[in-house]
């Protein structure tokens, strides 16, 4: 997938490209924030968000005008992309470059979503939507990058995360699919379920860690790696059982969503595993695992206004913790319930989760969504139903 980058001509501007390609100026400015928009030089390149560059073989009867019209772009866009070619005389079989607007997803939710598929999707999204900010906040036990994405320029800060639990990897696919749909709506000037999205981009900065536990996800989907140490460790923890589909923990057998200092000692006392296990072992102390440390540091650094943790399963969501939740959380819960079929639950007898700790630490709204119904890992055949039901909550978390 080739990004669409153009070389400015004398008199060109970001504003002009915005009009020419039909992409909002602020998106183009963020996609090219390393450039001086008031002084574009012919040595620079300007990325056009939402477009890719493709080769096109000229057919009989084609003209530059007819090709541009078929692509629903201005004729000058075609000349700009082919600035070294003479488009006044085209011959059958000639090859020219065309700017193609993406109107369909890059993310394919029918694939099993391990860390390599996730990284592949992320790399493609970065190419087409360079206003999507991508960084890393740390590494997993096995050294895999924990990726952090940001989109938007608003003062309101919303955070989502997925795959705290290894066999709940479908949450990463749900998050990335919605992100892709949001990017498509922004660059195609389309609403999402009737909601205009560009005002959301202006008002909200959305932070996403799509895959908190890449080691665990890969273990569930592909089995142990060739790494002798971790291969032996996980086999011992799993009691030599070859099936790892029930694994929720990180690669060291620590349940990452039982690792936060929100009455962690209660979970430590009552959880049955007293040593590394496929699920539920809270560790020897809170905040011992690198994945959890990275998430806690991110929350402290960014000072989010709300967090949403995606889990499975149950078709319900939890939004209270020990009375620390603010009054506005109830109003948000009412809206989440309205736009989905999910049941709103204020309190559950559980501690030491990311949402629990966030509410306790910051006194701000936090939600744990339990997507779908069944036995984890939920099958991909459920994806469409899960996505349609949680779509409204994803959207509402941005406008509420």
* Tokens 């300007």 sit on residue: 46
Give the CA distances from residue 124 to residues 32, 119, 197, in Å, rounded to whole numbers and listed in that order.
17, 9, 22
Question: From the candidates 267, 289, 291, 370, which is the catalytic residue?
Answer: 370
Question: Do the beta carbons of residue 140 and residue 209 sit within 8 Å?
Answer: no
Token readout for 317 is 């969501």
> In degrees rounded to 5, what are phi and psi of residue 147?
-85, 140
Residue 226 burial (CB count, 10 A):
6
Residue 26 appears among annotated catalytic residues: no
Residue 37 CB partners (closer than 8 Å, separation 6+): 13, 14, 29
Token readout for 39 is 């002084």
Q: How far apart are CA 358 and CA 363, in angstroms?
A: 7
Quick one: which of 158, 188, 180 has its CA closest to 393? 158
Question: Do the beta carbons of residue 14 and residue 28 sit within 8 Å?
Answer: yes
User: Could you tell me whether strands 46-57 and 95-101 are parallel, antiparallel, or unpaired per DSSP bridges?
Assistant: antiparallel
Question: Do the beta carbons of residue 4 and residue 99 sit within 8 Å?
Answer: yes
Residue 211 CB partners (closer than 8 Å, separation 6+): 115, 118, 146, 147, 162, 163, 169, 172, 217
* Tokens 């996403």 sit on residue: 208
Q: How far apart are CA 166 and CA 250, in angstroms?
A: 7
Question: Do the beta carbons of residue 250 and residue 273 sit within 8 Å?
Answer: no
Residues designated as active site:
370
């Amino acid at each position: 997938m080739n990004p669409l980058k153009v070389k400015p001509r004398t008199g060109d501007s970001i504003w002009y490209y915005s009009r020419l390609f039909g992409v909002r100026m602020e998106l183009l400015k963020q996609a090219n924030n390393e450039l001086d928009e008031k002084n574009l030089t012919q040595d620079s390149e300007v990325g056009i968000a939402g477009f890719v560059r493709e080769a096109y073989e000229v057919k009989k009867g084609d003209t530059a005008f007819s090709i541009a019209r078929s692509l629903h772009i201005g004729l000058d866009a075609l000349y700009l992309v082919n600035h070294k070619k003479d488009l006044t005389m085209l011959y059958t079989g000639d090859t020219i470059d065309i700017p193609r607007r993406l109107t369909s997803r890059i993310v394919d939710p029918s694939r099993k979503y391990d860390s390599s598929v996730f990284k592949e999707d992320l790399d493609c999204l970065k190419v087409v939507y360079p206003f999507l900010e991508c960084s890393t906040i740390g590494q997993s036990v096995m050294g895999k990058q924990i990726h952090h994405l940001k989109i938007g320029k608003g003062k309101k800060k919303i955070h989502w995360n997925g795959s705290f639990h290894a066999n709940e990897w479908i949450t990463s696919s749900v998050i990335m699919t919605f992100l892709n749909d949001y990017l498509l709506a922004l660059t195609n000037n389309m609403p999402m379920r009737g909601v205009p999205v560009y005002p959301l981009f202006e008002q909200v900065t959305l932070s996403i860690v799509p895959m908190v536990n890449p080691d665990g996800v890969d273990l569930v989907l592909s089995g142990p790696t060739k790494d002798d140490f971790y291969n032996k460790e996980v086999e011992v923890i799993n009691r030599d059982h070859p099936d790892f589909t029930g694994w929720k923990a990180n690669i060291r057998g620590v349940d990452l969503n039982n690792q936060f200092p929100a009455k962690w000692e209660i979970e430590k006392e009552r959880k049955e595993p007293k040593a590394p296990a496929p699920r539920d072992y809270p560790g020897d102390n809170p905040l011992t695992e690198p994945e959890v440390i990275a998430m806690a540091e991110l929350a402290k650094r960014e000072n989010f206004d709300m967090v949403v943790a995606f889990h499975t399963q149950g078709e319900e969501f939890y939004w209270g913790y020990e009375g620390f939740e603010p009054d506005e959380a109830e109003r948000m819960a009412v809206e989440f319930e309205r736009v989905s079929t999910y049941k709103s639950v204020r309190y559950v007898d559980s501690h030491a989760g990311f949402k629990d700790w966030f509410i306790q630490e910051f006194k701000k709204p936090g939600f744990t969504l339990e997507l779908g119904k069944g036995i984890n890992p939920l099958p991909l055949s459920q994806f469409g139903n899960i996505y349609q039901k949680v779509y409204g909550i994803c959207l509402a978390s941005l406008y509420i």
